[in-house]
Amino acid sequence: MNNKHLLGVGLGLRREMLNELLPHIPSSVDFWEVAPENWIPLGGKYQKNLHQFTSSCNFVCHGLSLSIGSPAPLDVNFVKRVKGFLDQHEILYYSEHLSYCSGQGHMYDLMPIPFTEEAVKHVVERVKQVQDIIERPLLLENVSYYAAPGQEMTEQEFTLSVLNESGCLMLLDVNNIYVNSINHGYDPEAFLCAMPTGKIVYGHIAGHYDEAEDLKIDTHGSDVIEPVWQLLKKAYEIHGIFPTLLERDFNIPPISELLLEMEKIRTIQQQVLLKTMSIKAPKKLTA
């Protein structure tokens, strides 16, 4: 596979970016991310353009409709189509949201899974089923949520239980931690510290919308704000530097502006690396 070792800084690829990006793909983007649902049904020019990307760049997939926590049966045929897409483009990592979006129909939104032991067991069983089909580790992303129906555990306890009991890996979304910490009144650094370092494959960072002082909406439609940048830095200090991708789903600016915002990620990575190296460097002995 062409991306067994993710490194550096990534960017989400949207179809509307293609004309601006091809044929001169920016070399400063270390890896790209696509939602398989947005590409699987397409053929012709779109598939040709995507193959031009995936044959020369590292890629990951971030899904939208696996609905891992749904009470409805797992859509096995859909998962098999995803596997075919991953194989076709030699993509190793497939991530999804620790949430659900379907029941008696598809809701096109990310709904919160009840934080209960029963839900943990349900999700764990489905994760194992997905991993058996795709023949790859599934990565689950900590998600933003705005209600917690039937809550018996904290978000932190629920997330750790699913990660540990299913054997899956993690996509760590720093902005979602910030948004949830404001909306639900918890310490974002404490949440970060509790996450399992060895399971974090890569991270997300994005902008959000300030509905009110105590209500933030995860939109991926604006620039990243300074407190979220600082939380990303803290994440690197706690877990080490992990590959990190900038998400932008609408209000998409020119690629030149996205690349500048991506460089902020790289700058923070370098700052933390230099700090770590200076701490580990042996002190000179003086006479």
pLDDT at 4: 52
Tell me the residue length of the chain: 287
Which residue stretches of the chain are H helix?
18-21, 44-54, 76-88, 117-134, 155-166, 174-184, 188-194, 226-239, 255-280
pLDDT at 13: 93
pLDDT at 212: 66
Q: What is the pLDDT of residues 127-157, one digit of tens each?
A: 999 999 999 999 999 999 988 788 899 999 9
With beta carbons less than 8 A apart as the criterion, state whether 275 and 241 touch: no
Domains assigned to the chain: 9-280 (3.20.20.150)
Structure-block tokens of residue 215: 């209500």
pLDDT at 1: 39
Q: What is the pLDDT of residues 86-125, one digit of tens each?
A: 999 999 899 999 998 855 444 456 778 999 999 999 999 9
Low-confidence residues in the chain, pLDDT < 50? 1-3, 104-107, 287
Q: Which H or E run includes 97?
A: strand 94-97
pLDDT at 257: 94
Structure-block tokens of residue 249: 């789903």
Q: How far is CA 224 from the centre of its chain?
A: 15
